[in-house]
Structure 1
Amino acid sequence: MDLPVIGAHCSLLTCNELDLLPLICVCSQRFCKKHIAADAHECPVDRSAASASAVSHPALKRCAVTSCGKPSLEAFIQDSSDTTNRIPALCSRCKLAFCVSHREPASHFCPAPSEEEVAQASLKRKNEAAHAVLARRFPTSSAVTGASKPKPKAKVPTDPKKRAALRKIEVMKLRQHALPVDAKASSSIPPEDRLFFKARTANSEKDRLSWIRKSTGTGRALDLLASHFGMTATDTRPLQLVKIDDAPDVEPQVLRNDLSLSEQLTDGDVVLVEVLSSITAGR
């Protein structure tokens, strides 16, 4: 039985070390971490000429830990969605990608599931197994039952510590999957200068994971988001941004257009793009 080929040998003839995570240079050769630098392997490519084309290459996905700048274990996978003949290097709890140093749940402060959550997960698996048995034995009745049963809405934890831990996970997911609100925004904007949030409308089926430069004004952000959702503001139907929270004890907050978005939002917040109602306008 042949062993699977993992990694690659360093292309430098005097090294030839087998590296499990080889790095690819702009000259298309693979090197170990000791010889990836241009002067370490006498790279034949002119870096000044190659820098212009390097902008078109997607940036490597970083570790989901905000303070870590290392690439994640999924960074060098050409298509991370393709799981054929491989197990994704994701945390088993929060399903995010981390570097080697932070891959264990304890090293990236991944919250341990409570006894109630473990019991709910076990009950869910049992229910799914029971539905599968019913579907095999009574395909018609099970299909009708499944179609008529509405999808339950995720519960918001009431414990402040659990809500804070859940928010940290949501922010980490936002940092990995958020898209720029401004299509002209440069990908070179550092993460610390970006505001990560979720945007929705009253009719949208799911939130838009977004980021915007922190210095952007709320009025400008409103125009960009309205364009994304196909909404147009008029004199009779002006638009506004409202900060909302899924927790029942938090009141919605209408954002001021004369302030920047970062002065009124923090990472992980949810904003609603809506038509300014007559009740709100009269306040």
Structure 2
Amino acid sequence: MRSLNVSNSSNMELPSVGAHCCQENCNALDFLPYVCTCCKTFCLEHFTAHSVDCQIGDNVVSELKKIENFLTCSEEGCHERSIIPLVCQNCSKHFCVKHRHIGECVKKTEDEYKAAREILAIPTNQFNAAKANSDREINKKIENAMKNDNKRKLALKVQLMRLKSKAVGLQSIPPTERVYFNILLPSKSEKAVYVSNVWTIGRTIDYIAEICHLKNNNNKSGELKLRLFKTDKNILSHVMSDSIKNLIDSQVILDGESIIIEYVSDNCVVLN
């Protein structure tokens, strides 16, 4: 409940509570005074009379009415509103902050979009071509170094670092179990893959076929089978239950090496 005004005779009893009405000849102390938009303080009685004639208050109300005239963004599907106009110099339409930097206000034809995409793609294509050429040169140097017993260990480390940066595999394989291979595919392309060292040769072939989208008929009789070969074209193992770890421990294959996956007959142990 609102506190009552007190007379001047009571002012000395509560000198620091409330505020005095600034109306001439009033000066009543009000515990919950009314403050006008012109920053003057009144009691209830004189505030009501003052608010009718206050010019500053009228101006504030007028400004509030102007703010109600919101501008809606012209971007299709956007309902953002603003009191500040952001007008495009080309089409003279208002856009919100999010869409004020749209590249165009006039729709292009599909051919114009295609031409624009081709222009934007030029730097990317040039970079990809240069990178592919650089990768081929590095691959040649690594391949030649692999043939040199003195350089083989260092070349293998370099290839392993490159494979780790781009290899794909199951995230569920613990990092301590991951073994990285550069897979040479039947299409003559390459793919960096990591597998688990506890997997068997059969499981590894199935996974490489899956992730590289190779047709796998290893469980069908009378069909060509997928097998893994070393780069010297000798089969990695013709025993499908051999584990990757056993082959690495016996140095048949090393972490980071390139291996070939190819379709062959059941009894093939060396690629042509």
Specify the TM-score bucket, using the shorter chain as the normaliser. 0.3 to 0.5
TM-score, L = length of structure 1 = 0.38
- From the CA coordinates, give the structure whose radius of gyration is larger: 2
Name the structure where helix makes up a greater proportion of residues: 2
